[in-house]
Structure formats: C-alpha cells, structure tokens
C-alpha cells in the first residue's frame, strides 16, 4: 500500500533524476574546502540570496545553531518568538551548547513579533545588570503560525530597528522559497534585510539532506569554525550537495503546485462538519504548503474524534497526518513533491470518513 504522507515536507524521497545527479557528483574533502560540488552549492545559494558566501550544513537545526553561536557568545541574549522553530523544536541548543540566553517574545498569528515588543526586549548595553542583545531571530515562512509568509516590509522594519542598535538579524528561512513563490517575489526581498539566512534543501525542495547558511564572507568564515566545532565538517559531501543543486534547479517553481494543493486541501477541510482550517481563511500575506486542521471542541465533547483518534483513523485509511500541540484538537497536513492533487482528493475523502467513523 502506498501511503499519502502529509506529516511533513521532509518525508520526500530523492527522485531518479536527483539520485542520478548525486551519483555523478564530482567530490573532494570539504573540510579542506576541496569539494567542488559543495562550493558550487554554497555559491549558488549565496547568489540567490545576494549574500557574499554560503556554508553547507547538515540540517536546518545545525544552520540556525551555527548562526546563533557565530553572532552571540555565552551570556549574550537573542530575541526569539515563542512559536519560533528555534525556540520550540531545536532542543534549546543555543542555551545548551552556547550558554546563550533567550528573550522570548509573543508571536502574533501572522508569524511576526510586534515591533514595539522587539524594541522593549532590546537591552540597554550600558546597564551592568543586563545581558547584551546580539540577535533578533525571524522565521519565514512561519511554521507554527500556519506557514504564513512574513511581509518583506516587516522584515525590513525589524532590520532597521536592529541595525540602529548594532544587533544582527537572523532569518530562519527553512521555507524561504515557499515564501518567494507564494508572493511572486525573489527571496532577496527578505534576505536583503537579514545579516544571516538559513535555507533548507530538505523540506519542500525535496533533497534528502542539507541546509545552507548565508551571510558576509567574514560571517561565513567564523561560522565554518563553529560548524567544525559542532562536528559538522563533512568530507566528500558533494554527493549530498549535488542533490541540493538539483533541487535549486528543478524544484523551486514547482512549489506552486504544493501551494495549490494545500489550498484545495484547506478548502476541503473547511467543508467537513466539525473541522476548520485557518488556511481556508484569507491571510495577511499568503499561506503556503502547511495546512492546519482545527477540530471543533464542542463536537469533540459530543463524541467527534479528537486529533489522536482522527490521525489513527486516517492511518487506517492510508493517510498520515501529525497531531500538533497539547490541545488534542489540532492536526497538521503538509503538501510536497510526493503528494499529487489526486492524493489530496483521496485524503479529503479519508478525512470525511474518519470524522464520521464510517
Ligand atoms: C524544519 C525546520 C527547521 C530545522 O530543520 P531540520 O533540518 O529539521 O533540522 C528550522 N526551522 C524551521 C522553520 C523548520 O521548519
């Protein structure tokens, strides 16, 4: 049986053509900076984001951590949203490994932190009692806020605030290319305002492994040492970088299909009694490939399945979706390279039947 796997866009498997590109990759020892395929990927990504240099890392988590450890040191502070991936899902790495303190600010539903909140959180560098604010972290698209796109104007406004105080802006752009396709704007519209940007090749772009961290040449030189310290100096890793290059060449424009499928899915969900989806509502900017399913609490009190039961029933029907959060009333469904429009239609039939228990 073939699963319709909507748990995440990380579940894609490399296509035949991508595997072919990997097999053909010219490689060398990348710790010696002698892997031509890795160098090409780093330059290509940096060019796309109009940054001076890039660094290939094993994961988005390693990319964000490497950035934070490069910008900030023990006892320094970062400003991060309470729904940020970096705060929720990266094992507290910047504190655990870097001794970096976090000022956690409330995200609003648009994935932003209000500018006044950020301004309030910035410490007075002359106050002997306070840690020094070094970095403001933003995320685009914002995963836990429904895959919403941050507006370029917002990112620019945060950067103006930061620059004025000599604070870096780090952009977790795990799905920056989704944002770019959704608004029909180049990724530079967001990257130009950030000092460092991390993009994932292993999410919607469909590569098996890898992220690229970009910034100034000086930043990337320092980040390269940090990556080595984290055990992330890899050797003939051009085999993986080749998959990333293939993804940048062939899998960016097709993100539009994922967005169209996600819209179809969200609208279908909204038409099922007791279910709703924020992604079926208008967004301030745009939604992308993440669809959240909200189960009406009243319906659950009257016997409708909660998130755990609903996902179990979906599994029996060949569809995988992730329960999210602690309320027991939220599921996440993600469209990607291995999900067709027919799969979405099939998933909606399964969802309806799972709700009704038929
Ligand atoms: C997935 C993700 C990451 C981390 O990437 P991994 O490769 O899974 O470590 C970081 N930020 C966001 C927003 C993500 O969705």
Residue 129 has pLDDT above 80, yes or no: yes
| Phi and psi at residue 81, to the nearest 5° | -75, 150
CA distance between the termini of the chain? 20
* Centre of ligand 1 from the C-alpha of residue 270, in Å: 28
| Phi and psi at residue 58, to the nearest 5° | -70, -30
Q: What are the helix and strand counts (H, E) for the chain?
A: 15, 13
- At 166-199, the pLDDT tens digits run 999 999 999 999 999 999 999 999 999 999 999 9
Of ligand 1's atoms, which has the minimum distance to the CA of residue 139? 13
Placement of tokens 């094993």 in the chain: 58
The upper half-sphere exposure of residue 30, i.e. CA atoms within 13 Å in the direction of its Cβ, equals 27
- Measured CA to CA, the distance from residue 148 to residue 352 in angstroms comes to 26
- Measured CA to CA, the distance from residue 49 to residue 59 in angstroms comes to 18
* Centre of ligand 1 from the C-alpha of residue 3, in Å: 23
- Measured CA to CA, the distance from residue 258 to residue 304 in angstroms comes to 29
- At 1-40, the pLDDT tens digits run 799 999 999 999 999 999 999 999 999 999 999 999 999 9
Band (pLDDT 50/70/90 cuts) for residue 326 is: confident
Residue 256 CB partners (closer than 8 Å, separation 6+): 181
Check if 202 has its Cβ closer than 6 Å to any atom of ligand 1: yes
- Measured CA to CA, the distance from residue 26 to residue 73 in angstroms comes to 37
Residues linked to residue 293 through DSSP beta bridges, in sequence order: 331
Q: 84's torsion region: left (phi>0), alpha (psi -120 to 50) or beta?
A: beta
* Centre of ligand 1 from the C-alpha of residue 67, in Å: 14
Indicate the top mutation candidate among 12, 91, 200, 292 to test ligand 1's pocket, ranked by most ligand atoms within 8 A of CB.
Answer: 200
- Measured CA to CA, the distance from residue 321 to residue 312 in angstroms comes to 9
Q: What percent of the chain has pLDDT over 70?
A: 100
- At 65-89, the pLDDT tens digits run 999 999 999 999 999 999 999 999 9
Domain boundaries, the chain: 16-250, 254-356
Q: Label residues 325-346 b or e (16+ Cβ within 10 Å = b).
A: eeeebbbbbbbbbbbeeebbeb
Predicted TM-score (pTM) above 0.85: yes
16-250: CATH architecture: 3-Layer(aba) Sandwich (3.40)
Q: Among 9, 15, 5, which Cα is nearest to 249's?
A: 15
Band (pLDDT 50/70/90 cuts) for residue 358 is: confident
CATH number belonging to the domain at 254-356, selected among 3.90.1150.10, 3.20.20.150, 3.90.280.10, 3.40.1000.10: 3.90.1150.10
Indicate the top mutation candidate among 83, 174, 334 to test ligand 1's pocket, ranked by most ligand atoms within 8 A of CB.
Answer: 174
Q: Is residue 134 helix, strand or coil? A: strand
Environment class of 36 (CB within 10 Å of its CB; exposed 0-12, middle 13-18, buried 19+): middle
- At 253-276, the pLDDT tens digits run 999 999 999 999 999 999 999 999
- What integer pLDDT is reported at residue 63 of this predicted model? 98
* Centre of ligand 1 from the C-alpha of residue 234, in Å: 20
- At 192-241, the pLDDT tens digits run 999 999 999 999 999 999 999 999 999 999 999 999 999 999 999 999 99
- Measured CA to CA, the distance from residue 131 to residue 121 in angstroms comes to 11
Check if 110 has its Cβ closer than 6 Å to any atom of ligand 1: no
Give the chain's mean pLDDT.
97
């Amino acid at each position: 049986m073939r699963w319709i796997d909507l748990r995440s866009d990380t579940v894609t498997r490399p296509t035949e053509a991508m595997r072919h590109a990997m097999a053909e990759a010219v490689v060398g020892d990348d710790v010696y900076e002698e892997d031509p395929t890795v160098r090409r990927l780093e330059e290509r990504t940096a060019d796309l984001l109009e940054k001076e240099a890039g660094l290939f890392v094993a994961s988005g988590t390693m990319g964000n951590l490497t950035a934070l450890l490069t910008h900030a040191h023990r006892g320094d502070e970062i400003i991060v949203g309470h729904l940020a991936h970096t705060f929720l899902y990266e094992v507290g790495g910047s504190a655990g490994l870097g001794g970096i303190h976090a000022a956690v600010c409330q995200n609003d539903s648009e994935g932003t932190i209000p500018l006044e909140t950020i301004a309030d959180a910035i410490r007075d560098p002359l106050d002997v009692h306070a840690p020094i604010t070094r970095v403001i972290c933003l995320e685009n698209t914002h995963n836990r806020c429904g895959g919403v796109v941050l507006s370029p104007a917002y990112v620019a406004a945060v950067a103006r605030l930061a620059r004025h105080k000599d604070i870096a802006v780090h952009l977790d752009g795990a799905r920056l290319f989704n944002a770019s396709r959704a608004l029909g704007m180049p990724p530079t519209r967001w990257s130009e305002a950030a000092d460092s940007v991390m993009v994932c090749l292993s999410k919607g772009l469909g590569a098996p492994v890898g992220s690229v961290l970009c910034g100034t040449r000086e930043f990337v030189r320092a980040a390269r040492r940090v990556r080595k310290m984290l055990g992330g100096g890899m050797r003939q890793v051009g085999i993986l970088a080749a998959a990333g290059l293939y993804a940048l060449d062939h899998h960016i424009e097709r993100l539009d299909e994922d967005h169209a499928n996600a819209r179809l899915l969200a609208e279908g969900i909204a038409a099922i009694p007791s279910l709703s989806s924020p992604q079926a509502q208008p967004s301030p900017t745009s939604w992308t490939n993440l669809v959240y399913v909200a189960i009406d609490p009243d319906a659950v009190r009257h016997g409708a399945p909660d998130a755990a039961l609903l996902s179990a029933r979906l599994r029996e029907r060949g569809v995988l979706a992730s329960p999210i959060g602690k309320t027991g009333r939220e599921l996440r469904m993600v469209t990607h390279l291995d999900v067709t429009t027919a799969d979405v239609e099939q998933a909606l039939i399964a969802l309806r039947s799972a709700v009704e228990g038929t």
